[in-house]
Amino acid sequence: MEHPPDDPKPEEHNGFLNRVAGYNPQRSWRTWLIGHPLPTAAAPHQTVSKAVGLAVFGADALSSIAYAPQETLVILAAAGTQAFGYAFPISLIITILLAIVTISYLQTIHAYPSGGGAYTVVKENLGVPAALVAAAALLTDYILLAAVTVASGVAQIVSAFPELFAFRVWLSVGLLVLIAIANLRGVKESGNTFAAPTYFFLGMTALTVAVGFIRYLSGTLGDVADPPRLESLHTGPITLFLLLRAFSNGTTALTGVEVIANGVRSFREPRTRNAAVTMIWMSTLLAVLFLGIVYLLGVIGAVPSETETVISQLARTAFGSRGVLYLGTITATTVILILATNTAFAGFPSLSAIIAEDGFMPRQLTFRGSRLVFSRGIISLAAVASLLIIVFNASVTALIPLWAVGVFLSFTLSQAGMAIHWWNNRRPADKRLTNKEMKHPYDPGWRWKLIINSLGAITTAIVTLIFAITKFTDGAWIIVILLPALVISFYRVHRHYVSLAQDLSLEHYGQPPPSKRHRVIMPVSAVHQGTLEALDYALSLSADVTVVHVSIDPAQTEKLQHNWNWWGKGVRLVVIDSPYRTFFEPFLEYVNELCAILQPNERLTIVVPQFIPKHWWHNLLHTQTAFWLRFALLNKRGVVITEVPYQVR
Amino acid sequence: MEHPPDDPKPEEHNGFLNRVAGYNPQRSWRTWLIGHPLPTAAAPHQTVSKAVGLAVFGADALSSIAYAPQETLVILAAAGTQAFGYAFPISLIITILLAIVTISYLQTIHAYPSGGGAYTVVKENLGVPAALVAAAALLTDYILLAAVTVASGVAQIVSAFPELFAFRVWLSVGLLVLIAIANLRGVKESGNTFAAPTYFFLGMTALTVAVGFIRYLSGTLGDVADPPRLESLHTGPITLFLLLRAFSNGTTALTGVEVIANGVRSFREPRTRNAAVTMIWMSTLLAVLFLGIVYLLGVIGAVPSETETVISQLARTAFGSRGVLYLGTITATTVILILATNTAFAGFPSLSAIIAEDGFMPRQLTFRGSRLVFSRGIISLAAVASLLIIVFNASVTALIPLWAVGVFLSFTLSQAGMAIHWWNNRRPADKRLTNKEMKHPYDPGWRWKLIINSLGAITTAIVTLIFAITKFTDGAWIIVILLPALVISFYRVHRHYVSLAQDLSLEHYGQPPPSKRHRVIMPVSAVHQGTLEALDYALSLSADVTVVHVSIDPAQTEKLQHNWNWWGKGVRLVVIDSPYRTFFEPFLEYVNELCAILQPNERLTIVVPQFIPKHWWHNLLHTQTAFWLRFALLNKRGVVITEVPYQVR
């Protein structure tokens, strides 16, 4: 007997009844907000060209042009405007750092053509504990990436429309919510969404820098007209510590560089080559624009401020007014920052799903929502990032110190993992391949590659340390405490799942003989139709039924006893006097006494008549006995609580 | 076989097993906060002398001296300081009103020696609908009494310590919480608590007035030094409407006058006489002090203000400085206001318990807490009053318009009820007494008494109207909407209880034959010890067990089917494919299909294996299937949900 595969009628399959749910999702506010549910079979896969890949995976890194120069200047401002001269030399060092990190990641692209996220690389080469440290760093990074980029995007908007300054926190939270909704719908990382804004941004930024330089060389580029007030009133000396702090802030320009290496799998074949070429292009563009902007900012005497970004100051000075080109630059910068936020929304949920799959985070995070996205991860990210924005008052400068220490820690671990990877591949292949050696194919260039990744690891480790030390009191201490706490909680979650699996395991499980006696007790306060229905149910479970009445009002008790003689079907009634007018304590005491004398294979079921009113608000007019009873007896072994609902017609 | 009465062992009683709970309340933060639970037998009763009765039942009325003059002046201030001259004439009219209301209530004392609260009097003479209107008015009054007196008390503190002004809202809420805790402990309305502060207040106020008059007559009483700024900047003309509004505010002096009539039962014998004498004393003191203060305020040119009360201005002018006597007056005024708050905490919970007893409010309000007080009423009152204080920013002037309209409405209804009472008693007794006439004994003086109470009813009705009209836009409209809404909700609650009682009634209840078949279904996601324990339980309920698996992940389903062959004891397994990866919708669809073909006396039980973790936070790591299932199936007739808990060792 055969049915067509989509027939909803039951069919025999492997000897079991098998059916397909005929459930058809209904339209509701939920489908309106996040779209109609998608069946599991609809999961897509597509690849991108180099040009689109630059837009999709480069948006995060390129967007750092929007905040890294500003955050460098903010620190230098503490020593007065004359310290701004140090910004360009610092930027040169950062560009060298960018080159080292880029070359290191180019090797990751070749070694991990299916995507070399830090968690994967570190787990494979340095083991699980280090991978969990990287995971903790990456998760906090994603959260801070979302908070910083949205706050920075809003700072651009506020620069153009100063009257919105008072609403920047709620603008940021609103934007985060919109991005979260878009991701709950399932934003495809497709060219349509990313290509146009990213290239618009690149074009506008390049135009700003180009016009700036032309006017600078022709001598027509003046200072910023009407610059914002310098906020730092305290003018200290220029110390090495100050310069290192400025350098730390500037290194945020490197955030997002690793994204292309994570996404190799999405490139068109030959994918490793295409990804590598894209990465070189991206780093070059980033370096040129970053250096150009920092240089011009020094020329025009831009002033870092919460009310107007330096990008805004540069654009209106270069273009000579707040005209169309100015607004184009600000719009492009805002949009790219929001696209960068989306990197967090793509990365956080899928990383937490991978960690949850390994049993280190709640399993629910692996569940794909109605639109096939990891909805719980998306919502968690939006919630935590919103909280950060509210707490830090949407200030990019306040959020930055928390951020980059985690980014560079994950860089360091990832590069160290790569170095170990090459070390493992140092032996030439021979005929007697063991299983372990199969995993580590010989690479003739292992020496050079080891050196490059080691250099990457050491440089980023130094930056991590500089960042942690110079930013410690500004907020980096939060991360220094948070990361170990996260790693510990990963382990506690893991221990729970492992010990649960052992406890529930059927290995060595001598199934106990089925229970023989079934004792039923049922609390009653009065005799009515609901009580009798529950009594009927109780008698269907067992012949050993005891009805228990906790006496608070003697008159009510007497009435109950009278009625029980008539309606109680001869079932045993126990009356417990409660001198303190409480129901739970005497009843629980009775249950505990019974449990103490329960035999090994005897069961105790508590049947609670539960009245279900017509309107939900009627519940306020009744005591929710069963609910509290279940709560109180949660940890009693062998006790089952059954609510027998009684619905009023 | 006899046991001593306090023996906790079971004993036969009326043929039922009877036992006394051995439960001994434990020390916890709760007992630390509100005291050790009291057994039901501990309920006390005591009577008070005239002097103590004046303190206990007069505190509320006497405390109105602290705000009524100020609130009269606040309104007049709208027409500039020259309008303050009208304050004294208005006070004279209010004093006449006080005399009428006092004489009216003296009659209530004689007619209802067991306590003539407005709800009782109106219910007996005007019927339930009018009584519910009175009840709604009284409940809102108590809430506003609590809010106004606490806010006024804090206004006195703030007058003496102006730096506390910014914290007045939280000071008020904090005081309310303290008073609520004291009442949850069970404050005895005893002389100890009330007598000393009330007489201290009377003494200090009398001293202030006396010193003021002596210095006035000797010509040494000057104007207020450094008075607060007059807040009303808009100076309008002196209109009749303005004078009526000022009069309305001044009538708050009458609030609390009825309290003695409610509490006749607590007086020593001859209780009606003692209560009547106390009432006359109280009204006389109130009238003299009220008139004296208003007169002196005019003399010294006091200015009503949110930052310093007029009482404070009078005290420091009369005593010439902010010295010990000044602080004594402020302290006494603050303390009496807090005692007046306590009147609300005594009245609200017991009135709601009476209304709940009649079935018009949730039954839970009749339940006496561990300290024998109506704890839920106390907590509700504190919560709503706190909310009002926060919303109205602890401003007495903002709260007053909401208040007195309810007070005078309950006065009116109560006096009208008394008038009907005398009308019913108009016929001389004759030998052929019917049941109805027994309740209305002939009163030879009925004509005079009828006239007095009618005069009281008409006067207070006029005041109610004046208040509602002149204060409508200031906030009285809230009450005009709130009272009918409350009365409607009383009726809806009542209808629910009545229809529920009918639905549950055993009259005409042809008990249905006991259920014959019992169908059990059990959802499973995987086979483990918890599943097998639940299966064992399910099989103990019925032989007709179906296990249902909603398939989201094909690999998991295949493993389950394999394991079920081995461990499933041959129980039928139904697999439902869920293309949208949801569990609930397909499972509920299956349950609904089964329900549709359920026979009349067939039962359906859903057994849900429920994992109970060692630590509560572990629940975050699991899906709470049973909880959501119960929620979804709440209204399904004949379906019982049983959680079989599985505790990890």
* Tens of pLDDT, residues A133-183: 999 998 998 899 899 899 988 988 888 888 888 888 999 999 999 888 888
Write the residue in B575, B605, B637 that is nearest to A16 by C-beta.
Answer: B575
A31 in contact with B, Cβ within 8 Å: no
In angstroms, the CA A410 to CA A406 distance is 6
Flag whether pLDDT at A290 surpasses 90: yes
Flag whether pLDDT at B528 surpasses 80: yes
Taking CB atoms and an 8 Å limit, are A40 and B580 in contact across chains? yes
With tokens 């620190």, the residue in question is A75
Write the residue in B540, B618, B630 that is nearest to A514 by C-beta.
Answer: B540
- Set of chain A residues whose Cβ sits within 8 Å of the Cβ of B20: 576-577, 579
pLDDT-derived band at B160 (thresholds 50, 70, 90) equals confident
Q: Select, from the ranges A491-505, A606-620, B359-373, B429-443, the one with the highest average predicted confidence (pLDDT).
A: A491-505
Write the residue in B580, B612, B613 that is nearest to A370 by C-beta.
Answer: B580
CB contact residues (below 8 A), chain A span 515-554, against chain B: 515, 518, 527-530, 532, 536-537, 539-541, 550, 552
A318: number of CA atoms within 13 Å, CB side? 30
Flag whether pLDDT at A637 surpasses 50: yes
Q: Are strands A16-20 and A11-13 parallel, antiparallel or unpaired?
A: antiparallel
pLDDT-derived band at B49 (thresholds 50, 70, 90) equals confident
Tokens, residue B453: 């109470």
Q: pLDDT of A388-432, one tens digit each?
A: 998 888 888 888 888 888 888 989 998 899 899 888 887 765 555
A556 in contact with B, Cβ within 8 Å: no
A364 in contact with B, Cβ within 8 Å: yes
The stretches of B49-190 forming alpha helices (DSSP H) are 50-63, 68-76, 87-111, 118-126, 128-160, 168-185
> Which residue is closest to B630 within chain A, CA to CA?
A643
Interface test with A, best of B499, B504, B505, B532 (most A CBs within 10 A): B504
Write the residue in B20, B506, B611 that is nearest to A529 by C-beta.
Answer: B506
CB contact residues (below 8 A), chain A span 420-439, against chain B: none
- Set of chain B residues whose Cβ sits within 8 Å of the Cβ of A626: none
| Number of CB pairs, chain A paired with chain B, less than 8 A apart | 235
Tally Cβ neighbours within 10 Å of residue B155: 30
* Mean pLDDT in residue range B326-351: 87
> Which residue is closest to B495 within chain A, CA to CA?
A618
Which pLDDT does position B201 carry in this prediction? 93
Taking CB atoms and an 8 Å limit, are A643 and B639 in contact across chains? no
Taking CB atoms and an 8 Å limit, are A645 and B634 in contact across chains? yes
Q: Are strands A518-523 and A603-612 parallel, antiparallel or unpaired?
A: parallel
Write the residue in A537, A612, A621 that is nearest to B634 by C-beta.
Answer: A612
Tokens, residue B391: 């919303």
B85 in contact with A, Cβ within 8 Å: no
* Mean pLDDT in residue range A461-470: 89
In angstroms, the CA B463 to CA B71 distance is 16
pLDDT-derived band at A462 (thresholds 50, 70, 90) equals very high
Tokens, residue A14: 């492997």
Write the residue in A496, A577, A634 that is nearest to B21 by C-beta.
Answer: A577
Q: Are strands B572-577 and A16-20 parallel, antiparallel or unpaired?
A: parallel
- Set of chain A residues whose Cβ sits within 8 Å of the Cβ of B504: 528-530, 646
For residues A254 and A460, the answer to whether their CB atoms sit within 8 Å is no
- The DSSP annotation for A20-66 comes to E----PPP-HHHHHH-S---GGG-----B-HHHHHHHHHHHHHHGGG
* Mean pLDDT in residue range A488-510: 82
- Set of chain A residues whose Cβ sits within 8 Å of the Cβ of B646: 504
For residues B31 and B25, the answer to whether their CB atoms sit within 8 Å is yes
CB contact residues (below 8 A), chain A span 591-610, against chain B: 603, 605
B621 in contact with A, Cβ within 8 Å: yes
Tokens, residue A564: 């029980």
Flag whether pLDDT at B285 surpasses 60: yes
- Set of chain B residues whose Cβ sits within 8 Å of the Cβ of A505: 528-529
pLDDT-derived band at B208 (thresholds 50, 70, 90) equals very high
From the CA of B264, how many Å to the nearest CA of chain A? 27
For residues A30 and A181, the answer to whether their CB atoms sit within 8 Å is no
Which pLDDT does position B282 carry in this prediction? 93
From the CA of A19, how many Å to the nearest CA of chain B? 5
Taking CB atoms and an 8 Å limit, are B645 and A623 in contact across chains? no
CA-CA-CA-CA torsion sign (B258, B259, B265, B267): negative
pLDDT-derived band at A516 (thresholds 50, 70, 90) equals low
Taking CB atoms and an 8 Å limit, are A540 and B506 in contact across chains? no
* % of chain A at pLDDT higher than 70: 85
B26 in contact with A, Cβ within 8 Å: no
Which pLDDT does position B553 carry in this prediction? 81
For residues B155 and B396, the answer to whether their CB atoms sit within 8 Å is yes
Which pLDDT does position A5 carry in this prediction? 42
CA distances from A441 to A112, A445, B611 (A): 13, 12, 46
Question: What does the mean pLDDT of chain B come to?
Answer: 82
Tally Cβ neighbours within 10 Å of residue A208: 27
- Set of chain A residues whose Cβ sits within 8 Å of the Cβ of B637: 647
Task: Write down the ipTM of this complex.
Answer: 0.70
Which pLDDT does position A525 carry in this prediction? 84
Interface test with B, best of A563, A575, A612 (most B CBs within 10 A): A575
Full-model pTM: 0.68
CB contact residues (below 8 A), chain B span 259-278, against chain A: none
Which pLDDT does position A496 carry in this prediction? 86
A571 in contact with B, Cβ within 8 Å: no
Write the residue in A18, A40, A363 that is nearest to B579 by C-beta.
Answer: A40
Taking CB atoms and an 8 Å limit, are A500 and B611 in contact across chains? yes
- Set of chain A residues whose Cβ sits within 8 Å of the Cβ of B356: none
For residues B338 and B148, the answer to whether their CB atoms sit within 8 Å is no
Q: What angle, 0 to 180 degrees and rounded to 10, lies between the N-to-C axes of helices A118-126 and A324-357?
A: 40
> Which residue is closest to A356 within chain B, CA to CA?
B621
Question: What does the mean pLDDT of chain A come to?
Answer: 82
| End-to-end Cα separation, chain B, in angstroms | 44
B366 in contact with A, Cβ within 8 Å: no
Write the residue in A496, A552, A589 that is nearest to B23 by C-beta.
Answer: A589
CA distances from B19 to A589, B125, B164, B484, B579 (A): 12, 45, 56, 47, 56
Asked if omega into B129 is within 30° of 0 (cis), the reply is: no
In angstroms, the CA B76 to CA B80 distance is 7
Flag whether pLDDT at A368 surpasses 80: no
* Mean pLDDT in residue range A471-483: 85
From the CA of B312, how many Å to the nearest CA of chain A? 41
* Mean pLDDT in residue range B264-290: 90
Write the residue in A493, A497, A540 that is nearest to B515 by C-beta.
Answer: A540
Taking CB atoms and an 8 Å limit, are A17 and B504 in contact across chains? no
* % of chain A at pLDDT higher than 90: 20
A502 in contact with B, Cβ within 8 Å: no
> Which residue is closest to A520 within chain B, CA to CA?
B541
pLDDT-derived band at B3 (thresholds 50, 70, 90) equals very low
Taking CB atoms and an 8 Å limit, are A642 and B639 in contact across chains? no
pLDDT-derived band at A204 (thresholds 50, 70, 90) equals very high
B36 in contact with A, Cβ within 8 Å: no
In angstroms, the CA B347 to CA B352 distance is 8
CA distances from A470 to A402, A461, A466 (A): 12, 14, 6
A492 in contact with B, Cβ within 8 Å: no
User: How far is C-alpha B384 from the geometric centre of its chain's CA atoms?
Assistant: 8
Flag whether pLDDT at B4 surpasses 50: no
